[in-house]
Structure 1
Amino acid sequence: MKVVSVEISPELRGEKKECLVVVREYEEKKDKVAVEEIERRCEIGQRGKPTLVTDLMGDPACRVRHFPSHIVLVAEYGEEKEIVGVIRGCVKTVTRGASGSGYVKLGYLLGLRVSPTHRRLNIGTKLVNKLEEWCKQNRVEFSYMATDYTNEPSVNLFTKKCSYIKFRTLAMLIQPIHAHHKSIHSSVSIIRLPNILAESVYRQVFMNSEFFPKDIDLILSSKLNLGTYMAVPKKVLPKWDLRANILPPNYAILSVWNTKEVFKLQVKGVSPLAYAWCMGSRLVDGWIPWLRLPSFPDVFRKFGLYFLFGLHMEGRNGRSLMKSLCAFAHNMGRDDGECGALVAEVGPRDPVQEAIPHWRKFSWADLWCIKNLKDEMDDPDEKSSLSDWMKSRSSSSVIFVDPRDF
């Protein structure tokens, strides 16, 4: 067992006494049940309102296992060594956009949870600080996190207590899976690209974007990646050679990531009326699909998501081609039987946002906050460049969202 830190917490439930808090590395056999209980308790919503429950498929570390360098930390409290907090972290190397040179090493912080009975004891701050220490040991230059823009407790913790700054705001777009297939125009051809060709296309298209991962090859070869697909006008096919590594003038491209192998979601606590409306709309949609009713998926049992990443379009037909690709992904999810929605996350200035079908009421703004961990550097010019990137507006309209982050 590796002990990361030992600290003293000032108070518990108003009683003035010294309370021992230990932050250490997660041990699966010893900590699995306790961490799952924290996850369950942190999902409890307000009485009378629906709650979205996350099932990590019995593996509290599953969300970071797909990164070559990752860690899970837990916080123990008191003499009983009760586990009262958890946080995950990973390291990756990404681009900084057109104004940046080369790559930058980032630490991504996610999955911070503190037991509701042990809040306001700075346990969350301790977990963040110790994870940052691990990042520094791995020569990370920046750490960052993402949260719902309206999640004030999370935003305040990172910006006010941990010295993070608000960095980028992205759009999280949600499209529920309907009971029927979506049609794809007969003039559109959809091709599945081999991984080596998909990697080549992505490196061409996203090299000047922000957060494009250096190890894109590992992402594309992952068992969770269901494939990379390109939509082109059918009349282009006879004139275009895939092996020539030259992109057609009109195309759209995306990849599909199967998150249901990592976690599943379930909605609980809805009223009987809401339940009846949702299930009724789906039944009617299945019986008479030509009406194209806005049916709602069965979210009252556990369901998975398909995350769409690497979305890009070019040419005068790019928008319609992207819509065809999203319809194709929808049909993949519909045939899956366990997929409840498609999810895509894109920058606010990315033109592709207008072509992604989504329900506005279920979509939201995702806030990314960042912190410079490299206080002392040998090269003052590089230090200035990193600081400028942190404080400046994005030099690119495109932000690549790593599906492993989701």
Structure 2
Amino acid sequence: MGYGELNIRSYNPQKDRARVEDLERRCEVGPAERGFLFTDTLGDPICRIRNSPIYNMIVAELNNQLVGVIQGSIKLVTIHKPPKNLARVGYILGLRVAPLFRRRGIGSSLVVRLEEWFIASGVDYAYMATEKDNDASFKLFVEKLGYVKFRTPAILVNPVNCPMYRISSKYEFEKLKVEEAESLYRKFMSSMEFFPSDIGKILRNKLSLGTWVAYPRGESWGEILPSSWAMVSVWNSGEVFKLRLGNAPTSCLMYTKSSQLMGNLVPCFKWRGIPDFMHPFGFYFIYGVYREGPMSGKLVRTLCRLVHNMAAKCSDCKAVVTEVGGSDTLRRHIPHWRLLSCPEDMWCIKGLKNEERESFYELIKTPTTRTLFVDPREV
């Protein structure tokens, strides 16, 4: 590279923790037109992978200065590729390179080293997610490292604000026991793409706030399921890390200020404004959304409102977030603001084993309407 010797090695908590946190604070995430997001890992740089079955963090040093970092996790998931329907996948996240050291090949060196760890761990596929307008990420992963565009899910964001939603009396709600929730997930969702084989560990994690079902009033919840029902689980991402919006578009700032002013001046109108995202905030992530029956869309919307009201009682929770398949009709029933949401996140994937190449091409040609299960541990 001509800038000194690049040293890529495993993360050392005693030596690297403070330096990785500093790097994270200096590296923006997201497209500039919607405003950069900055991450506060609350003193734990590996917080976003710590709850995964197997994980690793790799750092890059140049002249004894920490200039880059990358994280990866491994799990077994459902993935539709003949002749098998299970695969060991490695997820790439948290790639950061210090602003003054970009365009020197540090990012690609970190990815390659993480792929080597994946291969040594028996991983079939590596995948990552990025914004569709992130040119630097696209050029690195797709054009340089051979990843292929795989799915384009939508990230839906609903701000948490007052007043709380009114919940219709037409529906009943029930919080499920973990064992019951796990049984339902395995029965109805285990064939979904990227459904994790260790769903029970996710549901039992302390960050998982619970699983709720909704169904029409007058019907009962039991061995025979109601004519229409919906289910969601909730993950408290704010206990893991905080986000802060920087370089927000003028339109967003003006709308935030004006809506807050209207809410103060005319409280009787119950004006819903955008919360203050300029200071660190947490969010709830809705995962495992499932529905059945003619009224199920309304039931999903009602459950999302229930989660919003839960989040409103948490002082630092400013948003409720979920992610659904790009063509999934669920998005019509999940409350969200277009100004804050991302209509097309981009997942890219790469086969790591030579013997998997043929089935890999079958995998990426699968219709994009297939429903995705988004693991809350990878948000």
- Alignment partner, residue 25 of structure 1: 10
Displacement of 1:205 in angstroms is 1.6
- Alignment partner, residue 405 of structure 1: 378
In structure 1, distance between residues paired with 2:136 and 2:212:
39
Residue type at the aligned position of 1:95: T
In structure 2, distance between residues paired with 1:387 and 1:272:
43
Query: Which runs of no fewer than 5 residues in structure 2 stay unpaired?
Result: none
Alignment partner of 1:356 out of 329, 334, 341: 334
Given that 1:179 and 1:286 are in contact with CA atoms closer than 8 Å, whether structure 2 keeps it comes out as no
Residue type at the aligned position of 1:346: V
- Alignment partner, residue 4 of structure 1: none
Displacement of 1:42 in angstroms is 1.5
In structure 2, distance between residues paired with 1:97 and 1:196:
26
Alignment partner of 2:145 out of 145, 151, 162: 162
- Alignment partner, residue 316 of structure 1: 294
Alignment partner of 2:349 out of 366, 370, 375: 370
In structure 2, distance between residues paired with 1:170 and 1:318:
21
Displacement of 1:291 in angstroms is 2.6
Relative to structure 1, the CA distance from residue 48 to residue 183 in structure 2 (aligned partners, 3 Å threshold; closer, same or farther) is: closer
Displacement of 1:209 in angstroms is 1.3
- Alignment partner, residue 11 of structure 1: 2
Displacement of 1:283 in angstroms is 6.0
Displacement of 1:320 in angstroms is 0.8
Given that 2:31 and 2:133 are in contact with CA atoms closer than 8 Å, whether structure 1 keeps it comes out as no
In structure 1, distance between residues paired with 2:302 and 2:83:
34
Normalised by the length of structure 2, the TM-score is 0.93
Relative to structure 1, the CA distance from residue 46 to residue 100 in structure 2 (aligned partners, 3 Å threshold; closer, same or farther) is: closer
Q: Which runs of 4+ in 1 moved over 6 A?
A: 44-49, 271-274
Residue type at the aligned position of 1:312: Y
Deviations 1:156-176 (A, max 9, x none): 100011111111101011100
In structure 2, distance between residues paired with 1:325 and 1:208:
23
Displacement of 1:393 in angstroms is 2.8
Q: State whether structure 2 residue 57 is matched by structure 1 residue 72.
A: yes
Displacement of 1:97 in angstroms is 3.8
Q: State whether structure 2 residue 173 is matched by structure 1 residue 190.
A: yes
Q: Match of 1:401, SS?
A: coil
Q: Match of 1:235, SS?
A: coil
Where do residues 197-276 of structure 1 align in structure 2 (5 Å cutoff)? 197-237=180-220, 240-241=221-222, 244=223, 246-268=224-246
In structure 2, distance between residues paired with 1:272 and 1:138:
47
Given that 1:230 and 1:253 are in contact with CA atoms closer than 8 Å, whether structure 2 keeps it comes out as yes
Normalised by the length of structure 1, the TM-score is 0.87
Work out which of the two has the higher radius of gyration on C-alpha atoms and give 1 or 2.
Answer: 1
Q: Match of 1:36, SS?
A: helix
Given that 1:189 and 1:234 are in contact with CA atoms closer than 8 Å, whether structure 2 keeps it comes out as yes
In structure 1, distance between residues paired with 2:31 and 2:218:
55
Count of residue correspondences: 378
RMSD: 2.4
Residue type at the aligned position of 2:2: E
Percent of pairs with identical residues: 40
Residue type at the aligned position of 2:378: D
Relative to structure 1, the CA distance from residue 50 to residue 131 in structure 2 (aligned partners, 3 Å threshold; closer, same or farther) is: closer
